[in-house]
Every structure is written in structure tokens, then in C-alpha cells.
């Protein structure tokens, strides 16, 4: 993930958890966390236990998330005179880049809270009076992780968008969403098109699409893996057959068990297989025309 993708992901997370955006600049955002986000990100379990026991109004943390340390418009905090601490100096700053602990924490939070989201493309907050409703269509977005496994492994990510109105399927759907401002709140003056397909049918279309896509891949890697499996099995057979022939009867049972175990291990290691799984998904209600496919 690059800085732009991370920033888009974080902004969607902050909006979905109802955080209050204090300041948004190039490469950073200053935000007052919502109670939900504060519980998930600050590790203040004792504080929240006290607040909930006493029934008092909580005071959530304010953070500044920096997405691009080298290219942002964030000014250094200004220190005041003796006894005076500028607000910006009190705000904790956290770099959110790929591999950073803070981004990993947000990933875990999203995973633990569920892999399903429901977002709307943002519209003007106060649409002009008399303006007809904006048409929205609904898309099921699914991110798949595909693993090609043998004694070597590689993986791919595939992002599909499937229209519940027409059945159209587009690839690189996540990249399309990154270009849009999304919110968990239904905008004003919006007309949602009636869905023509159920979620079950739409998900089945996506699975069939992925299956057909993977069928036409070059599978020479699997053929080569099977050949390596045969070589390893032959080596192992030669070793254990000779070893068993040289052993006394009382030792053969133990070695035979080792032989069977090694057979299972080698087969598991070298046997080629393709595993595809949906890692997250959601419904996205987008304006019509809703997509610009490049």
C-alpha cells in the first residue's frame, strides 16, 4: 500500500467510526476519536471501565495521523511561554505507514470488528431545494486473496465489484473506491435503485468469475511441482526401504511410522494447490454513472 491508499483507508475508518475531523491537510489528519475508536486504538481499558461504571461523559483522545512523513503540510508544534503549552504540542502524532504499529492496530481492529462494511458515496451536505434525487446503484465489493502453494508460494489480491442492479462485474474495484469519498451515512436527496439480485446470487457470480479467471492461468508451475514431488518421494522411498531392510524387527515399527509421517509432510509441502478466500467485502452505494473504469 502506498501513502495515498493508506490515507484513503484511514479516512474511511475514521468516518465509519464517527470520529470528528479537526483538521485535514496534505499527508495528515488531526482527529478527535469517537468513543468506539478510542476504545480500539488507545488501549485505555481501565479508563473506559471507570467511565462505564460511573456513567460519566468520556473524554476521548485527539491524535494527529501522519501518512507521508516527507511530504505533508503539517507545521511543527509551537511552544508557548513558561507554563503555556500550545494545543498542537499536546496532540500525539503517529506515523501511519505500511508496516507501522499504528496501521497494524487499525487493520486488527477492522478485522476483529468484522469484514463487512456498508458505505455511501458522499453528496453535497445541503442539496439545492427542488433538485431531483441523485440516483445510486448498489455494488457488492469483494477482495479475494489467492494463494498458489507448493514447495514455493505466491499470492495475489483481486478486488471485484458486482452490481446488484445489473450483474456487471468490474476488476480493480478497490482502486475505483479510492477515488471517491465514502461515508457510512445515507446522504440527503438520494434515490437507491431497487436491487435486481440477492446478495447470495451476487456472491455466487463473483465466485464463478474468480473460478473461470483462475482456470485460464498458466499452471505449468503445478506440473513442475508434481515432478519435484515425485523426485522427493523417490529419494525418501529409497532411503527408508533400505533402512527398514537393515533393521531388527523390534525397530521397524518406529521407523515405519517415521516413514509414513515423512510421506505426509512431503506431500503437504510439494503438492500444488490454489486457495482463494474472500478477506473482506461490503456494499457500496455509488452515484449513477457510478464507475469510471480505466
Query: At 279, is the secondary structure helix, strand, or coil?
Result: strand
pLDDT of residue 133: 85
More confident residue, 97 or 290: 97
Nearest residue to 244 (alpha-carbon basis) of 266, 259, 264: 259
Average pLDDT, the chain: 86
Q: Is residue 292 very low, low, confident or very high in pLDDT (cuts 50, 70, 90)?
A: very low
Average pLDDT over residues 204-218: 95
DSSP track, 161-187: EEETTT--EEE-HHHHHHTS-EESSPP
Percentage helix, strand, coil for the chain under 3-state DSSP, each rounded to 5: 40, 25, 35
pLDDT attached to residue 99: 80
All residues at 6 or more sequence positions from 238 whose CB lies less than 8 Å from its CB, including other chains: none
pLDDT in tens, 187-203: 888 888 898 999 889 99
pLDDT at 20: 93
Residue 112 pLDDT? 67
pTM value > 0.75: no
Q: Nearest Cα to 109, choosing from 175, 26, 17?
A: 17
Which tens digits make up the pLDDT trace of 85-131? 444 557 899 998 888 888 888 887 776 665 677 889 987 666 667 77
Of 44, 49, 14, nearest to 28 (Cα)? 14
Confidence label for 2 from pLDDT (cuts 50, 70 and 90): confident
- Using the predicted structure, report yes or no on whether residue 289 has a pLDDT greater than 90: no
Q: 27 falls in which pLDDT band (50, 70, 90)?
A: confident
198-to-113, 116, 166, 190, 217 alpha-carbon distances in Å: 24, 16, 11, 21, 30
Domain boundaries defined on the chain: 3-114, 116-294
Nearest to 142 by CA among 156, 155, 161: 161
Strands 134-149 and 190-192: parallel
In the prediction, which pLDDT does 76 show? 66
Residue 209: is its pLDDT beyond 60? yes
What does the pLDDT read at residue 224? 95
Q: What is the pLDDT of residue 294?
A: 40
**Predicted local distance difference test score (pLDDT) of residue 125:** 65
Kindly state the cell numbers that stand for 204.
455466487
More confident of the two residues 113 and 47:
47
Confidence of residue 79 (pLDDT cuts 50, 70, 90): low
Which has the closest alpha carbon to 221: 147, 145, 143, 279?
A: 147
In this structure, of 110-124, 138-152, 224-238, the range with the lowest mean pLDDT score is: 110-124
* Distant-in-sequence, close-in-space partners of 25: CB < 8 Å, separation ≥ 6: 72, 73, 74
Query: Which of residues 35 and 15 earns the better pLDDT score?
Result: 35
Amino acid at each position: 500500500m502506498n501513502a495515498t491508499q493508506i490515507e484513503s483507508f484511514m479516512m474511511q475508518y475514521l468516518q465509519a467510526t464517527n470520529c470528528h475531523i479537526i483538521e485535514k491537510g496534505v499527508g495528515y489528519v488531526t482527529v478527535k476519536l469517537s468513543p468506539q475508536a478510542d476504545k480500539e486504538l488507545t488501549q485505555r481499558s481501565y479508563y473506559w471501565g471507570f467511565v462505564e461504571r460511573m456513567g460519566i461523559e468520556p473524554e476521548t483522545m485527539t491524535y494527529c495521523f501522519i501518512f507521508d512523513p516527507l511530504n505533508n503540510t503539517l507545521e511543527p508544534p509551537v511552544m508557548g511561554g513558561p507554563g503555556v503549552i500550545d494545543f498542537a504540542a499536546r496532540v500525539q502524532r503517529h506515523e501511519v505507514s505500511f508496516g507501522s504499529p499504528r496501521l497494524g492496530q487499525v487493520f486488527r481492529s477492522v478485522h476483529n470488528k468484522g469484514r463487512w462494511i456498508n458505505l455511501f458515496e458522499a453528496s453535497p451536505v445541503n442539496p439545492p431545494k427542488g433538485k431531483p434525487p441523485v440516483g445510486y446503484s448498489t455494488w457488492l465489493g469483494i477482495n479475494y486473496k489467492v494463494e498458489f502453494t507448493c514447495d514455493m508460494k505466491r499470492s495475489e489480491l483481486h478486488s471485484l465489484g458486482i452490481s446488484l442492479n445489473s450483474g456487471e462485474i468490474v476488476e480493480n474495484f478497490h482502486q475505483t473506491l479510492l477515488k471517491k469519498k465514502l461515508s457510512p451515512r445515507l446522504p440527503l436527496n438520494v434515490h437507491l435503485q431497487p436491487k435486481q439480485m440477492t446478495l447470495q446470487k451476487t456472491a455466487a457470480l463473483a465466485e464463478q468469475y474468480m473460478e473461470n479467471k483462475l482456470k485460464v492461468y498458466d499452471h505449468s508451475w503445478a506440473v513442475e511441482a508434481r515432478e519435484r514431488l515425485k523426485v522427493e518421494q523417490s529419494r525418501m522411498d529409497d532411503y527408508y526401504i533400505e533402512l527398514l531392510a537393515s533393521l531388527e524387527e523390534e525397530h521397524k515399527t518406529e521407523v515405519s511410522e517415521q516413514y509414513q509421517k515423512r510421506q505426509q509432510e512431503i506431500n503437504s509441502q510439494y503438492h500444488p494447490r490454489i486457495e482463494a478466500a474472500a478477506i473482506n467485502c461490503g456494499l457500496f452505494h455509488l452515484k449513477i454513472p457510478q464507475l469510471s473504469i480505466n
